[in-house]
Amino acid sequence: MPPESISTTVVDGLALANEIRKELGEAVGRHVSAGRRAPRLAVMLVGDDPASASYIKGKRRACERIGMDSTEQTLPAAASQEDVIAAVEALNADEGVDGILVQLPLPAGLDANAITGCVDPAKDVDGLHAMNAGRLLLGEPCLTACTPLGIMEILERFEIPLEGADAVVIGRSNIVGKPVSLLLQRANATVTMCHSRTRDLRERCRAADVLVAAVGVPLLVKRDWVKPGAAVIDVGVSVVDGVLTGDVDTAGVDGVARIVTPHRRGVGPMTITMLLRNTLTAYESRIGT
Ligand code: NAD
């Protein structure tokens, strides 16, 4: 089929996120109507990074809108590893907290893996604890990283066939690349995980029925990297001359891709939505419903 004949759908991630948040809000409402407390997400910020503060604000608003409780704890940038771990352990012990999110990146000098590794796996709504990452690898039920869950939800809601599909994931981070590769594999796609040392990246991408770019290199994926009819998911967020830019040349892939997620209102709103869903899941397993 010539590329020109393909009508590309630009995914409205915000609209999709709002649909799911409505369902989550209804679930929270049912718990509260049954006399139970609302689920609660605890977010911890270390330091005063403005981007992190803004992300946290977005998460608080998202919780409020679906009737979920949220708390924020801010520690100074100079907090020691022990201070941060002690604060995480206090949240682990708090019966009123269902989900714990340590906002990343942490200030230099703090060991993020050691800190996220102290979060109770049952409250690990970011899916970063080795217990949850290991369960994902083994195909067991677990709390899974939010961005990969959001990507899978987009693919499902847009009815992108995954069984036997060739999926290429660019990026191999613990928070996006690796977990989304595992989820795609679990959905019976044949997955190729690419990274900064991959040879012939363009050729590999051109073979993909599903292409996920989670890199952080602005406009890395161009029109001639995309197979006609492919589903293209742009996870990357970079700022170029003050302008937010993704990993994919969204305008360039128009008429080639079957669907593409834009860098704004694409994967981002779905990530927060999956954080809400994970918090609800953690709550329901803790209260035993
Ligand atoms: P990361 O920096 O941990 O990983 C980047 C990956 O890209 C690495 O595995 C690296 O090998 C690979 N890479 C780097 N340069 C490359 C190149 N030229 N060619 C091929 N591969 C290359 O990043 P991350 O945490 O996975 O995030 C990736 C991007 O996604 C970032 O821009 C981040 O801001 C964004 N992000 C967005 C959301 C969202 O909700 N929209 C969530 C998480 C991350």
Are 176 and 115 part of one and the same domain? no
Helix (H) or strand (E) holding 223: none
Domain that holds residue 84: 35-121
| Cα(69) to centroid(ligand 1), Å | 31
Task: Decide: 285 in ligand 1 pocket, CB within 6 A.
Answer: no
User: What number of other Cβ atoms are within 10 A of residue 149's Cβ?
Assistant: 22
Per DSSP, 37 falls in state P
Token pair, residue 206, equals 């051109």
Per DSSP, 76 falls in state -
Are 194 and 102 part of one and the same domain? no
Are 150 and 112 part of one and the same domain? no
pLDDT score at 5: 74
| Cα(175) to centroid(ligand 1), Å | 9
Task: Decide: 230 in ligand 1 pocket, CB within 6 A.
Answer: no
Rounded to the nearest 5°, which phi and psi values hold at 61?
-60, -40
User: Atom 1 in ligand 1: which residue has the minimum CA distance?
Assistant: 173
pLDDT score at 289: 77
Last residue of a domain, one of 106, 121, 136: 121
Q: To test ligand 1's pocket by mutation, which of 149, 199, 205, 215 has the most ligand atoms within 8 angstroms of CB?
A: 215
Q: Alpha-carbon Rg of the chain, whole angstroms?
A: 19
Q: Indicate whether 30 belongs to any domain.
A: no
Task: Decide: 217 in ligand 1 pocket, CB within 6 A.
Answer: yes
Are 108 and 210 part of one and the same domain? no
User: Atom 22 in ligand 1: which residue has the minimum CA distance?
Assistant: 196
Task: Decide: 195 in ligand 1 pocket, CB within 6 A.
Answer: yes
pLDDT score at 288: 87
User: What number of other Cβ atoms are within 10 A of residue 208's Cβ?
Assistant: 25
Residue 87, domain CATH: 3.40.50.10860
Are 80 and 176 part of one and the same domain? no
Q: What angle do CA 236, 241, 245 make, to 5 degrees?
A: 20
Helix (H) or strand (E) holding 213: strand 210-213
pLDDT score at 4: 56
Q: Indicate whether 4 belongs to any domain.
A: no
Q: To test ligand 1's pocket by mutation, which of 176, 263, 265, 274 has the most ligand atoms within 8 angstroms of CB?
A: 176
Residue 152, domain CATH: 3.40.50.720
Q: Indicate whether 10 belongs to any domain.
A: no
Are 177 and 262 part of one and the same domain? yes
Q: What is the mean pLDDT of each run of 10 residues along the chain (289 residues)?
A: 76 98 98 98 95 92 98 96 98 98 96 97 97 97 98 98 98 97 98 98 98 98 98 96 95 97 96 98 93
Are 74 and 168 part of one and the same domain? no
- Looking from the CA of residue 220, the nearest atom of ligand 1 is 18
Sign of the CA dihedral with 263 first, then 264, 266, and 268 last? positive
| Cα(37) to centroid(ligand 1), Å | 37
Are 100 and 177 part of one and the same domain? no
Are 49 and 163 part of one and the same domain? no
Pairing between β-strand 243-245 and β-strand 238-240 as defined by DSSP bridges: antiparallel
Q: Indicate whether 19 belongs to any domain.
A: no
Catalytically active residues are 59, 103, 126
Domain total of the chain:
2
